[in-house]
Structure 1
């Protein structure tokens, strides 16, 4: 979809990222996030669009977006799904302090922003924080003990046969996921487990990201009616593909990281930016559980100087990890005491979606 159509039908565009957090420096990029409502053909016809994240060199309406590569404008239905799922990166969009574009339709959405807050934030905010920790630990490992060579199949016991390629692995793991889902779908006592594996967590993604443990191999073999040697090759191939993926990520990290950030990382022994975002996410999640509000601007939250201190290397890796551990513990307590609903009211969100589309109208494409 052309940029000008997206902009004509945008209901809000906000300044997010470091500027939204109050953590920007003079050289910080401008991260714009927005929402638009697609024309009629995308709702009633075959065409589909979820977001626009490139093409900002096309002719448009809003000059501040010209050639800005850090811009994403989501289609309404896509972002409502992300909001209902308590996605931290999009939830904050409804609590920003700076909206260069805000129409009456956008104001109506913001008026109903509390509809998207639920206890799910404990899982999503801590999950995003743990992702930062994972990146931090990976970079720390590369700093302290860098990989010496590209992994080979023989390093993982694959000698006389070719390792399974990524497509083979994903196809089998997709099949395994469907079998597991089918086994528990109609078991009444497993209803919560079914919900967990199909909606609350990305179980399919976990199957594809982590190696099958030894203790699951026999069951997997029986469940899929596979040969024992195939299951062993599957596990070895997973280990090999994970190591290969990490090797490629290491080379990319070496080649592309910002020189100033790399120097700070070398001095401190860990990635300061990932450490800061980990703490910011955990504090934000805790605030939502305790106060039922999102405080995006950390100057208002009162911890902007503390977060900047992490970025400047004034805290050690151990201190940041201890902060994170304490915040996770506080979130556990806040979760049990929070007055937020356990899960979002999808029926009301669906109704709000229809209201917003009707308010916007179909217009001309």
Structure 2
């Protein structure tokens, strides 16, 4: 089963809903329209090796879960799945009668504290990550291995490039020999007479230093250390930044810059949406997808709060929610056996038709 095949064989759809910001009542001009749903595999596909858990379109804004996968995630109190099951009727495009067998209240449990709050923490990490990328962008030109090499000098160290410049030396006229028992440390030599060395690095694109053959009688002129760990971390962060820069939603990024708070306000909006939903589940034992707190949430999205202020609100909110779940009558976790029986019944009823 593929996304295209599912839409050509709509008889296998069990639920088709508009989801995301539209269903949340958080859509603004320019918001995408997302869709989520549930399908059931043709009976013959259950007997082969190629079981399809879920399908999606290329942009991943339309996702459909096979009924088995849907029920599995439901027993884990996955927020996206609970929201899908509780989609307001005005956003339900199609609903098979068999879906009446699956009731949200039969699956809600204290796991929601971890799942909804866990998703909220993920949104905070994303917001913090953007804050870091905006405030600490890498250099326009990437650093090289030489920028992470240091020479012992008196009672301290100096950057290799500065040391070479001070001593009127070129890195390509130098040679290195590994210094035993010292990690990433080298004896540094400079060529003289007929002695020629390979250089400290092979070129600007090198990802490590290189050693040379040095005559035994020759004395070194310095001891050098290559901070290889720092170089590896720098390369990873630089690569991640460039990948993020290439793939980022430019309109969303410019919106973040425009409110001047240097964090992803949309991520923070969803943090509070998830926390509020977790609180509502504990208080009312229902999933409220349509957000009546739209005004407050959009204030967050529009950058009306400082990041530190939001973090204080998150901490206070989490303390309240934990207390609510401590005294809640919700079960500790959903009944997996009941979910398994539901799956069998739904398959039997569907394939019988």
What is the TM-score with the length of structure 1 in the denominator?
0.68
- Cα displacement (A) at 1:74: 0.6
Structure 2 unaligned regions, length at least 5: 150-181, 186-227
Question: In the alignment, what sits opposite 1:359?
Answer: 349
SS at match of 2:22: helix
Structure number with higher helix proportion: 1
> Is 1:52 paired with 2:55?
yes
Q: Among residues 223, 246, 269, which one is paired with 2:262 in the alignment?
A: 269
> Is 1:341 paired with 2:331?
yes
Structure 1 residues 255 and 4, CA, compared in 2 at 3 Å: closer, same or farther?
A: closer
- Cα displacement (A) at 1:46: 2.4
User: For residues 28 and 314 of structure 1, what CA distance do their matches in structure 2 show?
Assistant: 20
Q: Given that residues 16 and 93 in structure 1 are in contact (C-alpha distance below 8 angstroms), is that contact kept between their aligned partners in structure 2?
A: yes
Q: Given that residues 104 and 286 in structure 2 are in contact (C-alpha distance below 8 angstroms), is that contact kept between their aligned partners in structure 1?
A: no
Structure 1 residues 131 and 245, CA, compared in 2 at 3 Å: closer, same or farther?
A: farther
| Count of matched residue positions in the alignment of Structure 1 and Structure 2 | 270
Question: In the alignment, what sits opposite 2:317?
Answer: 327
> Is 1:283 paired with 2:269?
no
What is the TM-score with the length of structure 2 in the denominator?
0.70
SS at match of 1:361: helix
Q: Given that residues 115 and 349 in structure 1 are in contact (C-alpha distance below 8 angstroms), is that contact kept between their aligned partners in structure 2?
A: no
> Is 1:118 paired with 2:72?
no
Q: Given that residues 19 and 33 in structure 2 are in contact (C-alpha distance below 8 angstroms), is that contact kept between their aligned partners in structure 1?
A: yes
Structure number with higher strand proportion: 2
> Is 1:38 paired with 2:27?
no
Structure 1 unaligned regions, length at least 5: 56-67, 161-235
Question: In the alignment, what sits opposite 2:239?
Answer: 248
Structure 1 residues 37 and 150, CA, compared in 2 at 3 Å: closer, same or farther?
A: farther
User: For residues 252 and 32 of structure 2, what CA distance do their matches in structure 1 show?
Assistant: 15
Q: Given that residues 6 and 38 in structure 1 are in contact (C-alpha distance below 8 angstroms), is that contact kept between their aligned partners in structure 2?
A: no
- Cα displacement (A) at 1:127: 1.0
Structure 1 residues 254 and 47, CA, compared in 2 at 3 Å: closer, same or farther?
A: closer
Q: Can you list the C-alpha shifts for 1:268-325, whole angstroms capped at 9, x where unaligned?
A: 22111111011111111111122111101102xxx11000111111111122112211
Question: In the alignment, what sits opposite 1:131?
Answer: 122
User: For residues 240 and 42 of structure 1, what CA distance do their matches in structure 2 show?
Assistant: 50
User: For residues 244 and 309 of structure 1, what CA distance do their matches in structure 2 show?
Assistant: 37
Question: In the alignment, what sits opposite 1:233?
Answer: none
Q: Given that residues 15 and 37 in structure 2 are in contact (C-alpha distance below 8 angstroms), is that contact kept between their aligned partners in structure 1?
A: yes
User: For residues 340 and 296 of structure 1, what CA distance do their matches in structure 2 show?
Assistant: 19
Structure 1 residues 41 and 310, CA, compared in 2 at 3 Å: closer, same or farther?
A: same
Q: Can you list the C-alpha shifts for 1:104-149, whole angstroms capped at 9, x where unaligned?
A: 012332xx22222110111111111111111111111111122337
Q: Can you list the C-alpha shifts for 1:192-243, whole angstroms capped at 9, x where unaligned?
A: xxxxxxxxxxxxxxxxxxxxxxxxxxxxxxxxxxxxxxxxxxxx98x87776
Structure 1 residues 85 and 240, CA, compared in 2 at 3 Å: closer, same or farther?
A: farther
Question: In the alignment, what sits opposite 1:89?
Answer: 80
Structure 1 residues 244 and 73, CA, compared in 2 at 3 Å: closer, same or farther?
A: farther
User: For residues 246 and 300 of structure 2, what CA distance do their matches in structure 1 show?
Assistant: 24
- Cα displacement (A) at 1:326: 1.2
Question: In the alignment, what sits opposite 2:65?
Answer: 74
Q: Given that residues 264 and 313 in structure 1 are in contact (C-alpha distance below 8 angstroms), is that contact kept between their aligned partners in structure 2?
A: no
Q: Given that residues 40 and 362 in structure 1 are in contact (C-alpha distance below 8 angstroms), is that contact kept between their aligned partners in structure 2?
A: no
Structure 1 residues 81 and 317, CA, compared in 2 at 3 Å: closer, same or farther?
A: same
> Is 1:102 paired with 2:102?
no
Q: Can you list the C-alpha shifts for 1:6-27, whole angstroms capped at 9, x where unaligned?
A: 5321111111100010011232
Structure 1 residues 277 and 44, CA, compared in 2 at 3 Å: closer, same or farther?
A: same
- Cα displacement (A) at 1:43: 2.2
- Cα displacement (A) at 1:352: 0.8
- Cα displacement (A) at 1:69: 5.1
Q: Given that residues 101 and 342 in structure 2 are in contact (C-alpha distance below 8 angstroms), is that contact kept between their aligned partners in structure 1?
A: no
